[in-house]
Amino acid sequence: MAEQEKAVEKQLAISKIYVKDFSFESPQSPTIFKTGEWKPQTNLNLRSIHNAIEGDSHEVVLTITIEAKEEDKTIFLIELQQAGIFEIAGYGGDELATIVGSFCPNILFPYARESIATMVQKGGFPEFVLQPINFDALYMQAKQQQAEGAAPDAH
């Protein structure tokens, strides 16, 4: 008698999306508003982390840091941790890693983008729109770098 494998049903659902931490600094205000036209350089840093909570619950936190500078002066600095709790069942290994490393940050990003745009405007600055980010490509790049780092050196 052949044993039949019980198929595990794959499930993926969003339970909660929330701001875990948010910081906005404008160290040059109010003088920056009196200088006229300015063209700051912005630096964007992204990272995400995954925490298994319990059962099928997983927290994914997308951290976005933006620093706008003009010459050597910081105009504004933002750090946002946009988080979500996702119910993920029936996935393992590479599939789970791809979901928490790419799919979940893709879900969280529009919420983060809206929060950042709103805070920049409330800080008295012109509209700031984060461009779309290809988290699939970033995940694949990170995975490739990790594989290259784990490969033994050839002599």
Cα torsion 78, 40, 128, 61: sign: negative
Asked if residue 6 is part of any domain, the answer here is: no
CATH at 124: 3.10.420.10
Centroid of chain to Cα 109: 6
Centroid of chain to Cα 125: 23
Give the pLDDT confidence score for residue 40 in this predicted structure: 87
Residue 60 CB burial class (10 angstroms; 0-12, 13-18, ≥19): buried
Print the domain residue range for 120: 12-144
Q: Please answer whether residues 79 and 21 qualify as being in contact, where contact means their C-beta atoms are separated by less than 8 angstroms.
A: yes
Asked if residue 150 is part of any domain, the answer here is: no
The H or E element spanning position 17 is: strand 11-25
Asked if residue 30 is part of any domain, the answer here is: yes
Q: Give the chain's domain count.
A: 1
Instruction: Report the predicted TM-score, pTM, of the whole model to 2 decimal places.
Output: 0.85
Describe the strand order of the beta sheet including 57-70 as a list of residue ranges: 11-25, 73-89, 57-70, 41-52
In angstroms, what CA-CA distances link 13 with 8, 17, 85, 95, 155?
Answer: 16, 11, 9, 15, 48
Asked if residue 106 is part of any domain, the answer here is: yes
Give the pLDDT confidence score for residue 154 in this predicted structure: 46
Asked if residue 149 is part of any domain, the answer here is: no
Give the pLDDT confidence score for residue 38 in this predicted structure: 73
Asked if residue 4 is part of any domain, the answer here is: no
Give the pLDDT confidence score for residue 64 in this predicted structure: 97
Asked if residue 2 is part of any domain, the answer here is: no
Residues of the chain short of pLDDT 70, as ranges, are: 1-7, 150-155
Asked if residue 152 is part of any domain, the answer here is: no
User: Which tokens belong to 50?
Assistant: 């995954």
